[in-house]
Amino acid sequence: MPAADAGDFAAMGASAVLRIASSLERLGTETAFSVLARAKTLERSGVDVIHLEIGEPDFDTPAHVREAAYDAIAAGQTHYGPTAGLPELRAAAAAYLAETRSLTIEPESVLVATGAKPFLFFTVLAVCEPGDEVVYPDPGFPIYESAIRFAGAVPVPLPLREELDFAFDPDELAARIGSRTRLVILNSPQNPTGGAIGPEATAAAAELIGETDAWVLSDEVYWRLLYEGEHVSIATFPGMLERTVLLDGLSKTFAMTGWRCGFAHVPEPLVDPLVRFFTNTTSCVPPFVQLAGVAALTGPQDDVAAMVSEFRARRELVVDGLNAIDGISCRRPRGAFYAFPNVSGLRLGADELARRLLEEAGVALLAGSAFGRVGLDNLRISYANSQENLTRALDRIGDFVERLQGPPTGPA
Ligand code: PLP
């Protein structure tokens, strides 16, 4: 074939179609980030926006954790480290997971990644063939469905029922599990509803899954933020640890979202596949971040306790405030820092309401549609903001709803 000359290349350039892989059509996103971007744009044009959209603690990372990072940087811990994680953090995380879940967990079965998110995505990719089924909560963290679809697997949503305080009905789980189920994703306490799976439902899930050859991904990143009842990991039920990726992290518990560090107990057959995914993508978590993680897990826990107690107070403020608004009803969430009020009593649908609350009232929050198909009548409110701002936001929502609903109708 004759070599192309410069003229050919110029002609090709003019008509070139630069393609994006069609698999990208199956990759979802997190609406929280796009709403945050819109809120920031409004702020730049002078609008005062109250942020209830983003899911991250508004507290500072504890001082002793930051100091551990400064010391580690000063000591030169700024190079590549082992992909599976520094031995110090793997050991600390194994001890932490073992003690807090009453399990025996060895450091070799603990991996460290750049947040909890890579574990979600790569576990799905590691276990699913196209056509395999994955059961996951709806409403749920949007990355679950995104990863399932991207892997070519079949998403099988498990409804979380508002009338059950956003727990699932074990019969509905039974109806969704079968020979094609490759993975079951559970999340407790839960994003976006704030619900938590109780011990009975967890036991029922363990029994049902135990009869299949499905893996389990138990997303427990909010487990320290539980205001009622006790956290019970599915990994503690007989035979479950061997098939469960027990996922935890630093982001939510220690207000370390920006540090990007998560860890998990990983069943032996999945250790090498996950390490290979991490080697192919991120190589390692920065060593100074991991050493800060060791300080977080092994150091004083007072900041966590103070944060939990403040979140508890905010939960009361938000739930009571929402329930005082005509047309809105809100279950009392048991954990995390989210409320998921039902707005079906209003004249606007949840999507339009969320949009107009941002544009017209300066309150940024998310519609339930960002989390699946079950919570379409709901809004997600993150109460990771000061009580003062939450009170202002509730006032704005109340005023907006009053204008929306107009004067009460009745006999003339
Ligand atoms: N799992 C759930 C349920 C979440 O809500 C989030 C973050 O919002 C994550 C995992 C990811 O956390 P990380 O910051 O550790 O990646």
pLDDT per residue as tens digits for the range 383-403: 999 999 999 999 999 999 999
The enclosing domain of 268 has a CATH number of: 3.40.640.10
Is residue 67 in some structural domain?
no
Least confident of 53-57, 90-94, 208-212, 311-315: 53-57
Question: Of all protein residues, whose CA lies closest to atom 5 belonging to ligand 1?
Answer: 191
Q: Are residues 158 and 265 in the same domain?
A: yes
Is residue 6 in some structural domain?
no
Is 7's pLDDT higher than 70?
no
Estimate to the nearest angstrom the gap between the alpha carbon of 399 and the chain centroid: 31
Segment 175-234, tens digit of pLDDT: 999 999 999 999 999 999 999 999 999 999 999 999 999 999 999 999 999 999 999 999
Segment 59-72, tens digit of pLDDT: 999 999 999 999 99
Q: Are residues 119 and 245 in the same domain?
A: yes
Is residue 232 in some structural domain?
yes
Q: Which domain holds residue 173?
A: 78-298
The best mutation among 54, 141, 289 to test binding of ligand 1, ranked by most ligand atoms within 8 Å of the C-beta, falls on 141
Q: Are residues 155 and 267 in the same domain?
A: yes
Segment 181-197, tens digit of pLDDT: 999 999 999 999 999 99
- Residue 116 CA to ligand 1 center (angstroms) comes to 6
Res 16: pLDDT: 87
Res 2: pLDDT: 54
Res 10: pLDDT: 67
Is 1's pLDDT higher than 60?
no
Question: Of all protein residues, whose CA lies closest to atom 12 belonging to ligand 1?
Answer: 116
- Residue 75 CA to ligand 1 center (angstroms) comes to 30
What is the distance in angstroms between the CA of the first residue and the CA of the last residue of the chain?
A: 87
Count: domains in the chain? 2
Is residue 5 in some structural domain?
no
Q: Are residues 122 and 270 in the same domain?
A: yes
Distance (Å, rounded) from C-alpha 222 to C-alpha 249?
Answer: 9
Q: Are residues 89 and 145 in the same domain?
A: yes
The arithmetic mean of pLDDT across residues 272-291, rounded, is 98
Query: Cα separations (Å) of 336 from 15, 228, 288?
Result: 52, 11, 27
Q: Are residues 127 and 44 in the same domain?
A: no
- Residue 240 CA to ligand 1 center (angstroms) comes to 22
Is residue 8 in some structural domain?
no
Res 149: pLDDT: 97
- Residue 219 CA to ligand 1 center (angstroms) comes to 8
**Percentage, residues of the chain above pLDDT 70:** 95
Q: Are residues 283 and 352 in the same domain?
A: no
Query: Is the CB of 140 within 6 Å of ligand 1?
Result: no
Query: Is the CB of 262 within 6 Å of ligand 1?
Result: yes
Q: Which atom of ligand 1 is nearest to the CA of 257?
A: 14
Is residue 346 in some structural domain?
yes
Q: Are residues 181 and 325 in the same domain?
A: no
Whether cis (ω within 30° of 0) applies to the bond prior to 333 is no
* Phi, psi angles (nearest 5°) of residue 16: -65, 140
Is residue 352 in some structural domain?
yes
Q: Are residues 141 and 281 in the same domain?
A: yes
Q: Are residues 262 and 145 in the same domain?
A: yes
Query: Is the CB of 142 within 6 Å of ligand 1?
Result: no
Segment 16-45, tens digit of pLDDT: 899 999 999 999 988 888 899 999 999 999
Domain boundary among 298, 320, 354: 298
Segment 286-310, tens digit of pLDDT: 999 999 999 999 999 999 999 999 9
Is residue 139 in some structural domain?
yes
Q: Are residues 41 and 170 in the same domain?
A: no
Average pLDDT over the chain, rounded to an integer: 95
pLDDT-derived band of residue 375, with 50, 70 and 90 as boundaries? very high
- Residue 99 CA to ligand 1 center (angstroms) comes to 22
The arithmetic mean of pLDDT across residues 84-97, rounded, is 98
Distance (Å, rounded) from C-alpha 202 to C-alpha 198?
Answer: 6
Query: Is the CB of 220 within 6 Å of ligand 1?
Result: no
Is 13's pLDDT higher than 70?
no
The arithmetic mean of pLDDT across residues 236-256, rounded, is 98
The enclosing domain of 33 has a CATH number of: 3.90.1150.10
Question: Of all protein residues, whose CA lies closest to atom 7 belonging to ligand 1?
Answer: 55
Segment 95-149, tens digit of pLDDT: 999 999 999 999 999 999 999 999 999 999 999 999 999 999 999 999 999 999 9
Domain boundary among 298, 332, 367: 298
Is 412's pLDDT higher than 50?
no
Q: Are residues 244 and 173 in the same domain?
A: yes
Is 411's pLDDT higher than 90?
no
